[in-house]
Amino acid sequence: MFAPLQNDTFLRACLHQATDHTPVWLMRQAGRYLPEYRATRAQAGSFMGLATNTDYATEVTLQPLERFPLDAAILFSDILTVPDAMGLGLSFALGEGPRFATPVRDEAAVARLQVPDMNKLRYVFDAVTSIRKALNGRVPLIGFSGSPWTLACYMVEGAGSDDYRLVKTMLYQRPDLLHKMLAINADSVATYLNAQIEAGAQAVMIFDSWGGVLADAAFHEFSLAYTKRVLAQLKREHEGVVIPRVVFTKGGGLWLDAMGQLDCDVLGLDWTVNLAQARARVGEPATSGAKAKALQGNLDPNVLFASPAQIEAEVVKTLNSFGQPHGDKTQPGATHIFNLGHGISQHTAPESVEALVAAVHSHSRKMRHAQP
Amino acid sequence: MFAPLQNDTFLRACLHQATDHTPVWLMRQAGRYLPEYRATRAQAGSFMGLATNTDYATEVTLQPLERFPLDAAILFSDILTVPDAMGLGLSFALGEGPRFATPVRDEAAVARLQVPDMNKLRYVFDAVTSIRKALNGRVPLIGFSGSPWTLACYMVEGAGSDDYRLVKTMLYQRPDLLHKMLAINADSVATYLNAQIEAGAQAVMIFDSWGGVLADAAFHEFSLAYTKRVLAQLKREHEGVVIPRVVFTKGGGLWLDAMGQLDCDVLGLDWTVNLAQARARVGEPATSGAKAKALQGNLDPNVLFASPAQIEAEVVKTLNSFGQPHGDKTQPGATHIFNLGHGISQHTAPESVEALVAAVHSHSRKMRHAQP
């Protein structure tokens, strides 16, 4: 059904296999920093108009690949499509973040929640198949979802928040309600990601964007436990091919050891994490065995406001901080997937991304040649 | 000049000495959640009107002590008084955060910066002396300042920020300018805190509220290095009495080992940190010697939106997570100062604070009696 994959660098790195260069892609690489994205979005009229239209979603997903030799594509969509399909009424006011018309704040609202009919998310699966065809085997396609906890944050708050007061009030006052919501979210996310895999996603990523706002004990109980519940239900393979899983908890560096135990292949890291230390703790198959994680990250997106030479220098620091890449092609090794530590800023100049991608490819090739 | 101290629990805990209960105070304990604070603020007309008037500042500092048996008072002021004295024009619009009329964004603006004339901060030192007198020895008075990096964030951004784009652009593009600003900030903060000590502050705290937004390497270079520069200039004693120093980096849990090397007595921790692990790493004089830190924190302020019984349960969990208190009165031991992991929310019910303080005192006394 789909053309054979020409650049498998990203998928190999996910699975601890040696590559000729460090693969690179950027969170939110299809986005507002690109003038061609802004033009398509203007045509679509709204963010959801863009995300729900297969042709537009395909077009904007491929836009960054036309400009930069990125090693993966990521589905153009939003982390909040699942609660929207639950009937919460997602919208994006211009210049603001997402907003739900019907937030979930009491027992009655939680009682009404259920795993949504996946037909309501058909537009996402259609987009996955359409993008996969349009990619024509150039690079693999990553599907994604918000984590159960991150979805719950928006579902309760109704929008972004500074202090997560409403969802944390529920957490401390009515943990039973929150657990019920999180279980439904987890089962919904698993069903949703499996359908993306069926539709053509070659890897899946769970964005726990707000895991880092939780207290230590609460993170384990309300975020990590439900990420595990998603992972336990995910298809391991599709048509005989392994589907790597990436988990990214923004602000989750303190819980690296616990995340190292997850049944996933890759951990996303934000810029606060020291890559060398993370590699030593959870990245080495030689010491961690099958549980070892490929590491994805973790440049501060604000580096992209510096000059091309400064961007190159920071890329080199990040690559060197991870250290010598995996050399032995016969054994699993520690692997790094270059990314930002968070989504790219809308204020970024496209030329800065060009400098970043070129620096990742050229320096990571040099590092490999420098190996004994 | 001042009355002798009746409750030295906080100061003893800072210095690893045994106490009969775990001392407790709350960041922003004098604040908007108290109706009497809102009444005084309405009289004063504005936040700066409140902070710059000695009588008002004294009144609101003491308000929470009238209601709750807290073990320390903290100067009522703002972390941004120093850049205001540098001429940046601090203001607080109602319902918004702080704002500077003249942000520092280019070489010329940085060149104009200098350590401010401390006479411009006389209102702060007068408030310290006035509060100390009004306390009449009840509990010790903590003075404070923003950290050099945190001040720089506001000085460059001109206000709070979601992404710290402007200050980080300077960091990556013109690190020389930022270093220059941070050196001036550090010298200003040290002078400012020493003047608070002279005026009567019995402990000082440095709030590195935005250290946690930095990338790993950048935290060490742009935040921690300048916190060190402040500490190196601080008076160790005043009139023969040791002045404990507290350093709090919000989101700094990943850098605990580095912070454990600081020349300070106490580390503030936010709720993401596991207290037991932090104690094992940096809190034990038996293993860390003179470098060991008392630990201050770290309840999520959102716990205060739960019921009194639930608040008590969470307080008990936090105290138990730190573990058995210091028993031997002849030797320095690991010590805990109870606090929130961040400032108390304006939406908190005063009754919730009552439940918290009572639970800290009663459970921490029980823990001591349970000791062998």
In tens, the pLDDT along B276-302 reads 999 999 999 999 888 999 999 999 999
B143-172: average pLDDT: 96
What span, in angstroms and rounded, lies between the C-alpha atoms of B15 and A308? 49
In chain B, residues with a C-beta closer than 8 Å to the C-beta of A217 are 317, 321
Q: Among A328-332, B41-45, B104-108, B164-168, name the one with the lowest average pLDDT.
A: A328-332
**Three-state DSSP class for A113?**
coil
Q: Are B238 and B197 in contact (CB under 8 A)?
A: yes
pLDDT at B96 (0 to 100): 77
Q: Is A32 a catalytic residue?
A: yes
CA distances from B130 to A88, A138, B125, B201 (A): 54, 71, 9, 11
Beta strands in B235-290 (DSSP E): 237-238, 241-242, 245-249, 266-268
- Is A372 a residue whose pLDDT tops 70? no
Looking at residue A371, what is its pLDDT? 59
Say whether A272 and B219 touch across the interface (CB within 8 A): yes
Of A215, A305, A321, the CB nearest to B172: A305
C-alpha closest to that of B10 among B202, B257, B173, B181: B202
Torsion B24-B28-B34-B39 (CA) sign:
positive
Residue A303's Cα: distance from chain center in Å?
A: 20
| Distances in whole angstroms, Cα of residue B304 to Cα of each of B63, B299, B341, B348 | 19, 9, 12, 6
Residue B372 has pLDDT above 90, yes or no: no
Measured between beta carbons, the chain B residues lying within 8 angstroms of A164 are 302
CA A154 distance to own-chain centroid: 17
The ipTM assigned to this model is 0.95
Interface of A with B (CB under 8 A): 163-165, 168-169, 171-173, 212, 214-219, 251, 253-254, 271-274, 298-303, 305-307, 310, 314, 317, 321, 341, 345, 347
User: With pLDDT > 90 as the criterion, what percentage of chain B qualifies?
Assistant: 93
Q: How far apart are CA A50 and CA B220, in angstroms?
A: 42
Residue A300: closest CA among B317, B247, B236, B222 = B222
How many residues appear in chain A?
372
User: Is B28 a catalytic site residue?
Assistant: yes
Q: Is the pLDDT of residue B170 over 90?
A: yes
Out of A254, A271, A301, name the one closest to residue B216 (CB): A271
Average pLDDT over residues A264-292: 96
- What is the number of H-type helices and E-type strands within chain A? 17, 11
The 3-state DSSP class for residue A296 equals strand
Residue range B203-225, pLDDT digits in tens: 999 999 999 999 999 999 999 99
Residue pair B114/B86 in contact (Cβ under 8 Å)? The answer is: yes
The predicted structure's pLDDT at residue A325 = 85
With bands split at pLDDT 50, 70 and 90, how would you rate the model's confidence at B175? very high
Beta bridge partners of A90: A100
Is 60 exceeded by the pLDDT of residue A242? yes
B165, B299, B347: residue with CB nearest A305 = B165
- Number of neighbouring beta carbons within 10 Å of residue A69: 15
Res B198 pLDDT > 70: yes
**Banded model confidence at residue A326, pLDDT cuts 50, 70, 90:** confident
**3-class secondary-structure state, position B349:** coil
pLDDT for res B326: 84
Query: Residue A361 corresponds to which amino acid?
Result: H
Domains contained in chain B, CATH given: 9-369 (3.20.20.210)
Residue A159 is classified by DSSP as B
Q: Smallest Cα–Cα separation from A262: which of A291, A302, A220?
A: A291
Q: Identify the band that residue A259 occupies on the pLDDT scale cut at 50, 70 and 90.
A: very high
State the average pLDDT over residues A329-354: 97
What is the average pLDDT value for chain B, to the nearest integer? 96
Exposed / middle / buried, residue A24 (Cβ in 10 Å: 0-12, 13-18, 19+): buried
pLDDT of res. A8? 98
**CA–CA distance, B146 with B266 (Å, rounded to integer):** 16
A306·B212 Cβ contact <8 A: no
**Could you give the CA distance from residue A122 to residue A192 in angstroms, rounded to a whole number?**
10
Place of tokens 């769970």: A206
What's the pLDDT at B325?
Answer: 85
Peptide bond into A194 cis (omega under 30): no
Q: Give the CA angle between residues B110, B114, B116 to the nearest 5°.
A: 135
Looking at the whole model, is its pTM more than 0.95? yes
Mean pLDDT of chain A: 96
Percent pLDDT > 90 in chain A is: 93
Q: For an interface test with A, give the residue of B272, B312, B321 to mutate (most A CBs within 10 A).
A: B272
User: H-helix or E-strand containing B337?
Assistant: strand B336-340
CA B211 to chain centre: 14
The strand pair at A73-74 and A141-146 is best described as parallel
Taking the C-alpha atoms of residue B112 and residue B181, their distance in angstroms, rounded to an integer, is 10
Mutation pick from A272, A314, A340 vs chain B, by most beta carbons of B within 10 Å, is A272
Q: Which residues of A294-316 are buried (b: 16+ CB within 10 A; e: fewer)?
A: bbbbbbbbbbbbbeeebbbebbb
**Chain B hits for A273, Cβ within 8 Å:** 216, 254
- Beta-bridge partner residues of B141: B73
Chain B positions with Cβ closer than 8 Å to A: 163-165, 168-169, 171-173, 212, 214-219, 251, 253-254, 271-274, 298-303, 305-307, 310, 314, 317, 321, 341, 345, 347
Looking at residue B289, what is its pLDDT? Answer: 85
**Beta-carbon-side half-sphere exposure of residue A89 (alpha carbons within 13 Å):** 7
For position A290, what pLDDT does the model report?
82
pLDDT at residue B95 is higher than 80: no
Tokens of residue A50, six digits: 């863009």
**Chain A residues touching residue B321 (CB < 8 angstroms):** 217
Average pLDDT over residues A98-119: 97
